[in-house]
Each structure stands twice: as structure tokens, then as C-alpha cells.
Structure 1
């Protein structure tokens, strides 16, 4: 588990009910572009563990982190920005920068090494000393928030659809208490808007007092309230959903991969078709990993000789063996609960 971990802290994925968790596991809407000249991105384009090919090799990191191998030769995610007055900008890129390093850890014991690594990365990217200290102070608040969100998740346990609004309000209060308004909005504003919009859609769709026409009108009104860039993302999503349904029917009818690729090329272009083919392969590999994990988990659970504490430790070891990051383990747990809900239904 990561430092001061909390499933709720990242994408509010503690709500693992059938329809809603699928939404939460989907990619988030991209950030709207910043106005020209309003922020400056500090130097931030070097791979995480490999040196820049145009510069002399650097000394290796002072302390290793448990999941270093998962980001070998991969650029550090996120960015550090300052505004026109030279102040640190609290935005999703800064949160992603912190999450990148937090994601290389497994336990609280790794926190000191993680902080050292983050400072080293900022020095290498020539981030000014004052901004480095601002980032580390922001990290303190962010870690405290993640811990509080993790405690909230533990208290709440499995969240029902009826509890969603209540938990969301508690999470918003935790963010304001630990992060302040500016960091809360920058780190989570668009994500929070996305979740609240989805909840509003669900209330409309599940309202028995509305006719089908009234529901469609209210859903259109809700859509028009979204920022333009989000509406564009939604439109692209609808296009992909339509295409996904077409490919599903084609596969059921026995279409080949070449025929599927031809359809995607006509609809989206050759480059997008190639990317979707790669995604198909990644999904297939993920499903194979998940299936192996589920078989091993069932074998462990069927061992009557294990005590409750032995069972918990065995399952934790199993998740660590099969999944490299907390995000993957979270996704596996959520999908397992979804599968269980389908079987119960």
C-alpha cells in the first residue's frame, strides 16, 4: 500500500457500486488549457530514471524506492508551474507530479526516500529553491489529506448508492480542511464537478415522476452547463461508444481483427485505429492477469486452515505479486466487487 494511502483520496473510487464504479474507473476529463502567459511550466521533461541523452550522466538516486522498475525510462508525470507573480500554481499537474513519486512506494517506511527523490528531481529540473519548499509544504498537506481520506473509507466500508452524496460531502470537507480552497479546487475541482454531474444525471434518470421527454430535456440542460472542452470530450466519448457497439456486434458475427481495424480506420482514421488495436491487446493482457489473480484468490479463500489474519496477509501478498501499483490493486478490487454484484443479481 502507498504512503498514507486512501482509495478515496485519488479518484473517489471507494464507491464501487455497479454502474457508478465503471464511471469512476474511466479516464478523467482533461484540464482546460491555461490562458497564454498566465503560467510558466518549469523545466520538466527528463525521464524518471534515465539521464537525458544530450547531457552527462547523473549520479544514481541516493535511495531506491520499491516500484522504481515500473517507471524505468519513463518521464516523470505532471509538472510544476508558477504564475506571473512567481507563485506556485496548485493544479492537476502538480498533483500528478506528487502522485508519481507516491506511486513508487509501498508503505510508510518509504516516505523519507520518496521525499528525497522528489527534491532531487526538482533540483535536476532547476526548480527554484523557494518553489521547491512550497511544493514540499503542499506535499505535507496532500499526504495528510490522503491519510484522512483513507480513514474515512475504512469507517464507511462498502458505500451504497444512497450514501454517495453523503460521502462526497464528507470528502469535500476533508479536502477544504487539509488542503485549503485553492489547492482543493486546483487538485480536485474538475474531478469533483465530473462526479457531481454524474450524480445529477443519475437522479434525473432514476426519477419516476419524469417522463422520457422530460428526462431527455433535463439531461440536455445539464450537458449544456458543462464547460465547452468537457462537452467536446463527451461528444468524442459518444462517438467511441457507438463504434464500440459496432465492433462488439461485428465480433459476435465472427469479424476478423483486420475487418475491425478497417472499420475503425474509416470512422476515426488509421492512427486512432492503431491505438485502439494496442488498447485491445492491453485489455486482453489485463484480463489474463486478473483471471490468474482471481483463481489464486479463490484457492487461498478455500483454505480452511488459515486464520483471519493469515488470510488477510496472504491476500495482500497475492495483490502485491500480481499488481505493480496501488492503482492496479484498487482497480482489481473494484472489478471483483462488480463481478460479485453481477453474480448475486
Structure 2
């Protein structure tokens, strides 16, 4: 079964969720979905670029001698594809790219950049022909699929190009898979599992290790807060548990977030009640302006929808 390129982003999500910490950006250096999607409509391949990240990640810690392979290269290619728009087939997309490449690369690099961009399109198409792992929760199946994907990349890019485009991602993937394997390995006692996870973390550079640790701490705090909320824990209990784990300053900061969230939910409830009153649309709109700041306004409707879904789930 061939896999559309954007399906690799779903595999990345499965891996990240299994680790509950690492966001593996496989399809592009941004939230999943950035690969050109290749679908079949009759006999026509429709290539649709999806929005790239708002900013490019720093892909290499040290300067590169080749100006084409500078940090942000992959992001620039994604922007080029986005600007080219939808195309009926790869050749048509390449024609559009040829007319746009000069706006994304300096004059002295346009010929090489165009050749690279054309191979990037071909790589995207080839990526869509690969088979997805049958079980995205199986580390070995994921490792096998990644090997096939990496081999495909090496068909279209030399080592220097590969490093510029994918090296940062590869570090995260190796770490994610190692942690996944350690977490799921059978026959390990708690100490052996701790050492295996520690060895997996050692695969990351020091700076990334610190970033990963911060991510996991944030996730742990969020999970703990959700558990507190589920059992309606009082502020004293929350403070005692949090300060014991993260320290007094963090406990106070989390308590402030609790108060902000409680205030937000109270305002949502008040506004929701006003909306439920028939014939008072004008009053509800006025209340909305009074209760919520301009920054909060875009969040209101989605928050009300979530409240409704939670209420319906609670009654089932």
C-alpha cells in the first residue's frame, strides 16, 4: 500500500504521542501536513502544497561553506512550493517553480536552486509511493519505514544536501525511536528501563537534551493539572504536590495559571448563559465585549464548542 507524502506526518504524530514528548516533524519542519500531498483523481495526480512553517528552524549549529545549503533551506523550498500553488502533475509544478525561484534565491544560486527544487518535487512524489508501517506503534516497523524513506532521500540528494535538509530531523527521530524502544521493551525492571531511557537521551546534543527535558516537564505539569481538575483538588493540595516536585516558584506560577483558567471558565459560563436567553442577542454581544479582551475574542467560539462537547460526553 503506497502512502501519500502527508501520511508520513501522521506516522510522526504516532511516534511523538507514543513518547508523549517529542514532536517529530517528518513531513516538513513544522506542524504535520507540510509535505506536498499526492492524491489520485482518475488518472491525474494532483499536487497540493500545504502551508509551511512561519519561520525556519536552525538546521545546523555551525556555518556552512556552500551558500545554497544554508540554514532554512528546506523552509525556503516549502515556501517556493506554496507560492507555486496547485499543479496537475510534477512537470507543471516544476514550470511554475522555474518562474519563481529567482524570488527565493540570490541570482548566483538560481540555477542550482532550481535543480534542487525540481529534485525536491521528485522526492515528494517518490515519498508518496512508499509503504506506511502496518503498525505505527511498533518501533521496528517504524525503523524499517524510516530506512526506506531515508534511502529514497539519498536517491535525490547528495550527503551535503541531505544534511542541510534533514539532519536536524534525523537527530530527533533517532532519539524518539530509542526512547520508544526502551519504553516498550519487555523484560526490563524499572532500573533497567530508566538506564535505557537515559541512554536514549544521550543521543541528543546537550542543548537539545535540555529542550527535551523542558518539554517533558511541561507535559508532566499539564497532565498533573488535568488530574487535579478531574478530582477537584483544592489549592493547598495542588501547591504541596507541585512545590515538592518543581519547587516553590513553579508551584506559585502554576497556581496563577489555575486562577486564570478558572476565571476564563467562569466568564465563558456567564456568556453561555446569556446566549441561551431568547431574544437577547444584543445583550449577549455587549456582554461578550465586556467579559473578554480583544486577544481573547478569537478563542471564545472554539472554547464554547469544547464546553458543549465535554457536557455532552459527561451525559452519555
TM-score range, shorter chain: 0.5 to 0.7
Cα distance in 2 between the residues matched to 1:220 and 1:195: 16
Deviation at 1:183, TM superposition (A): 1.6
Cα distance in 2 between the residues matched to 1:80 and 1:201: 22
Tell me the equivalent position of 2:101: 119
Tell me the equivalent position of 1:88: 68
Cα distance in 2 between the residues matched to 1:6 and 1:287: 34
Deviations 1:101-157 (A, max 9, x none): 3245334356257515642533xxxx431212222121112111111111114xx47
Whether 2:88 is the aligned partner of 1:108: answer yes
> Is the CA contact (8 Å cut-off) linking 1:149 and 1:174 kept in structure 2?
yes
1:132 corresponds to which of 100, 106, 110: 110
Alignment gaps of 5+ in structure 2 = 26-47, 239-248, 265-294, 310-316
Alignment gaps of 5+ in structure 1 = 30-65, 293-345
Tell me the equivalent position of 1:166: 144
> Is the CA contact (8 Å cut-off) linking 1:28 and 1:191 kept in structure 2?
yes
> Is the CA contact (8 Å cut-off) linking 1:101 and 1:118 kept in structure 2?
yes
Q: How does 1:196-275 map to 2 (within 5 A)?
A: 196-253=174-231, 266-267=253-254
TM-score normalised to the size of structure 2?
A: 0.55
Aligned residues between the structures: 231
Cα distance in 2 between the residues matched to 1:130 and 1:167: 37
Distance change >3 Å, CA 99–CA 211, structure 1 → 2: same
> What secondary structure sits across from 2:9 in the alignment?
coil
Cα distance in 2 between the residues matched to 1:231 and 1:247: 24
Tell me the equivalent position of 2:5: 6
Tell me the equivalent position of 1:149: 127
RMSD: 4.9
> Is the CA contact (8 Å cut-off) linking 1:79 and 1:96 kept in structure 2?
no
Higher relative contact order (CA 8 A, sep 6+): 1
Distance change >3 Å, CA 128–CA 150, structure 1 → 2: same
> Is the CA contact (8 Å cut-off) linking 1:142 and 1:178 kept in structure 2?
yes
Distance change >3 Å, CA 116–CA 25, structure 1 → 2: farther
Tell me the equivalent position of 1:15: 11
> Is the CA contact (8 Å cut-off) linking 1:80 and 1:89 kept in structure 2?
no
> Is the CA contact (8 Å cut-off) linking 1:15 and 1:159 kept in structure 2?
no
Tell me the equivalent position of 2:37: none
2:161 corresponds to which of 159, 183, 189: 183
Cα distance in 1 between the residues matched to 2:20 and 2:173: 8
> Is the CA contact (8 Å cut-off) linking 2:179 and 2:197 kept in structure 1?
yes
Tell me the equivalent position of 1:298: none
Distance change >3 Å, CA 165–CA 180, structure 1 → 2: same
> Is the CA contact (8 Å cut-off) linking 1:119 and 1:132 kept in structure 2?
yes
Q: How does 1:38-53 map to 2 (within 5 A)?
A: none
> Is the CA contact (8 Å cut-off) linking 1:77 and 1:96 kept in structure 2?
yes
TM-score normalised to the size of structure 1?
A: 0.51
Distance change >3 Å, CA 248–CA 113, structure 1 → 2: farther
